[in-house]
Structure 1
Amino acid sequence: MPYQRIKWLILVIPTVTLALWEYVRHAFLLPVISMDLGNVLAPVLVFLITMTLVRKLFRMMENVTDTLHQEQTAKAAFMEREQLARELHDGISQSLFLLSVKLDKLEKAQDHGDIRTTTDEIRSTVRHVYEDVRQSIASLQSEPAKTEVQWMQSVQRMAEELELGGLKVVMDWQLRDSHLTSKEKVELLAIVRESMLNVQKHANAERLTVRAVPQPSGSGFVCTVADDGIGADEAELLAKGRYGIRMMQGRARAMGWRLDIRRIAASGGPNAGDGMIVEIVKGA
């Protein structure tokens, strides 16, 4: 039985019981039961109904409450695991991928100066991974804090890392701090970073363009991440193991944004094929 129905029954049953007793007593039992006896029997009858039917309803309500509490606990645990997965993916996983790219670069380096430079880059990336791990552990051990995100710092760092790997990154960011809330900044930058990293991983592209502009109406924005690589089919994007795309979709859906991933006609690129564009839209 639904919780709301049980609650209303508990409230209504004693009142209805008393009303029915008074009606029956005055309509049929006055010749048999005196007024004084009827007044004594009224609370006794309500008490008996309460100890039997209403008490049973209370037990039912407690069971429903326990079930709801268990469901809420399970949901909270799932959300915590999902948040942890996002943090690992957005921080440690991406940093480790960039580290592998630099290790590949180190293997190909011939000049001593290039080896030293690449080694310094690897050391810097390892420090970033270490800081990400410490931050994740600190976040798990403390209550969530409503802190302001350092605007665009992570994306700028990602762009620099990708350019070190040979990918040309063009930034055209026209959104100001006032256009987005702190929550929107976190989610939008996470989607942008994941889109940029996917280009490095899968697109085999030479050029990556990140553009973000406010809507003409002033409410909302349009953000795009486009490349001139080889493109990908929808089945490839959503294949098993592609957690990044699903996380991007989940973030956009939770914020009420429209996320569109499609092929575009590329002007160049290593294979002169179709590139890809990721478009995030808020508002009309």
Structure 2
Amino acid sequence: MTPKYIKWALFLVPALVIGGFETIRHTLLENVLPMELGNWVTAIIDAAVIAVVSRTLFQQFARTEKELSKEKESRAILEERERLSRALHDQIAQSIFYSGVQVNAAQTKAVQYDDKELQVQLGDVLLSLREIDENVRQAIFNLKHKTIDGGNLEERIRSYLDKTLSTSRITWEVSFPEQPVVLSPSEQVQLFGILQEAVTNIIKHANATQVHVRFETGTSDKWNFQIYDNGIGFDIQSVGGRRYGLDIISNRARDIDAELMVESSNKGTMVAIRRL
């Protein structure tokens, strides 16, 4: 019931009920119900009718107040995330870029002096700075996209893949069920983090041209989140330094009580996070 109808109900219903009762009282109950007692009964009926009609209005006011409070809290969270993303960009990202310029200049000098060892060391520093810069920019991207209740994981994934792979030769495809996927904020955060880690590894190591992301749902709270590519694959038993990325994915899966499965061959790699 809309506020307009509630207001009209508050005006008309008590009047009709009391009017009807007074008519009955002065016709059928005139010799049965004493005047003083009748006045008290009229007051009680009036109060009861108003209370019943007003209850709907008060419930609607309570719902509206709760929604406004939640919206205010969400806005405060988003404003803080925006502030943090600006700080990351203006302070840390710019400092990393400046450091990279300085190291690059030092590497040029090392080439002039034909210092091979220093060139290698400065190259490693530049690589580390690029990875840090990528991680910072990824953090900025995360902060600028909502992960609270009501957020759309599919839209976030599409936006991330479009932004991340738009300058590469890698094409991508996302498949989600037609029915909206209901996930907790924690599940959304962890699955999106797993996607980021997997895509980063694909870009760096897989030499892939295609990435597919698929989300499948089963009965109750069962689901299967898959990321697979058509790259060169790797030996899972001897991944060396790349084990760190798999450990991150494994820890994220464990945090949401999900199962991790990784399959890889010379035809591509699949990372599956399942809750079965």
TM-score tier, shorter chain, comes to 0.3 to 0.5
Give the TM-score normalised by structure 1.
0.43
Give the TM-score normalised by structure 2.
0.44
